[in-house]
Every structure is written in structure tokens, then in C-alpha cells.
Amino acid sequence: MHNDGLMMDQNDDDEEYGAARGSLKYLVIHATEWFTKMDKDSNGHISVVELQAALAEGGLNFSLGTTASIIRQCDSKRTGTITFDVFERLHAFLATVQDTFERMQPDSRTGRVSFEEVARTLAAFGYRLEPQVQDALFIRFDPLHARSMGIQEFMALTLFLRSATDTFKAFDPTDTGVVHLNFTQFLYAAVNSN
């Protein structure tokens, strides 16, 4: 894979962390160097296009729309960009999701995990979803209709659930687990959960 110098040479520190060249763990370890290389205009912010390229370098080939959604989740000032601090936290989160995916032991041939395994993992993280909701989520994040997910689909599902949870909590400040929304609030919640 041609990397245009975006990845640093692996050294002994990387082996100590168990970070293989090209993995998200490796990229988190080298976040400062990576951020500087991705920040093409050196303005201290990464745009949607720059983040998309950074994620692709880490093996996550997200669409521009999904990448914009990632930035919206992190961009509290609504600038359409992220700073280094946010970038570093985002990549720590993505590395955690990748580790979770790897613990589900993806099929060695396809690199995918079954819906049943994803459902067990989501339940372990507190997402006890009704079957029809679970099916709707899986259909949305399984464009191949293979009844399984690769790392990209699992990452997109996780990002969506994180966003939906944060949006729901904004409407449920007392943590009752129930919200009442008018149509405008519903639209706001829907837009902020994508």
C-alpha cells in the first residue's frame, strides 16, 4: 500500500504497544505526527476531506457523508472541522471500537462477524434492543445483505448508536429512559443522530 509518508516508521515503542503498522492503534500512538500531515493547510483543524483521507490511511474507507457525520458528532462549535484534541479522542474511540470488533473474532476469510455476535456485543454494552429495532439497524448497516458486518459497517453502527444515545440524553436530562418530542424536536433528534 502506498502511503505518501503518512505513516511513521515503526520503532520499538510500537512493538511495546502491540501496534502494527497501518492499524488504528499505531495511528493513535503517532497522532501528533499524523494530525500534522493530515492538516494540509496547517490551520490546526482537519476538514471532512482531510479526515476522510486520514481514516482511509488507517484502513477505514468511509464515504464523505459518513465522515461528515463523524465530524458533526465531535464538532461542538459547528465549524465543520476538528482540532487536534478532538482528533486524538476520536482516534482513541475508533481504536477501542476496532478492538471490540477484533474480540468478536471476525471470520478469517471474509473479515466479517455475524449479526448474532454483534447483537451479543451490543447487549454487553447495555443496548438491549427489541428485535424489530435490532433488525432495522442491521439492515441499515449491512448494505450487502450478508447478515454480517465488516469493521466499516460495525464502526458506522457504533458511531450511529453513540450519536443517537447522546441525542436521546439531551432530551432526557433526568435519565428516565423516556422522552416526549414534538415534531420539530423529533427532526432535530433525527438530524443529529446521523
At residue 4, the pLDDT reads 30
Rg of the chain in Å (alpha carbons) = 18
Is pLDDT at 182 greater than 90 in this prediction? yes
Task: Note the pTM of the prediction, 2 decimals.
Answer: 0.74
Is pLDDT at 181 greater than 80 in this prediction? yes
Its domain, for residue 43, covers 1-103
At residue 172, the pLDDT reads 94
Across the chain, mean pLDDT equals: 81
| Mean pLDDT of all residues in 167-193 | 90
| Same domain as 113, residue 193 | yes
Question: Residue 71 — pLDDT band, cuts 50, 70, 90?
Answer: confident
Please tell me which residue, 107 or 71, carries the higher pLDDT value: 107
Please tell me which residue, 29 or 68, carries the higher pLDDT value: 68
At residue 35, the pLDDT reads 83
Residue 97 contacts by C-beta under 8 Å, 6 or more apart in sequence? 154, 155, 158
Question: Residue 45 — pLDDT band, cuts 50, 70, 90?
Answer: very high
| Same domain as 28, residue 85 | yes
DSSP annotation string for 28-93: HHTHHHHHHHH-TT-SS-B-HHHHHHHHHHTT----HHHHHHHHHHH-TT--S-B-HHHHHHHHHH
| Same domain as 114, residue 88 | no
Find the CATH number of the domain harbouring 99.
Answer: 1.10.238.10
Number of domains in the chain: 2
Q: What is the DSSP letter of 102?
A: H
Please tell me which residue, 49 or 33, carries the higher pLDDT value: 49
Instruction: Name the domain boundary from 86, 103, 120.
Output: 103
Instruction: Name the domain boundary from 80, 103, 126.
Output: 103
pLDDT tens, 99-154?
Answer: 999 999 999 999 999 999 999 999 999 998 999 999 999 999 998 888 999 988 99
At residue 13, the pLDDT reads 39
Which among 124, 133, 130, 132 is positioned nearest to 160, based on CA atoms? 133
At residue 29, the pLDDT reads 60
What's the grid cell of residue 167? 441525542
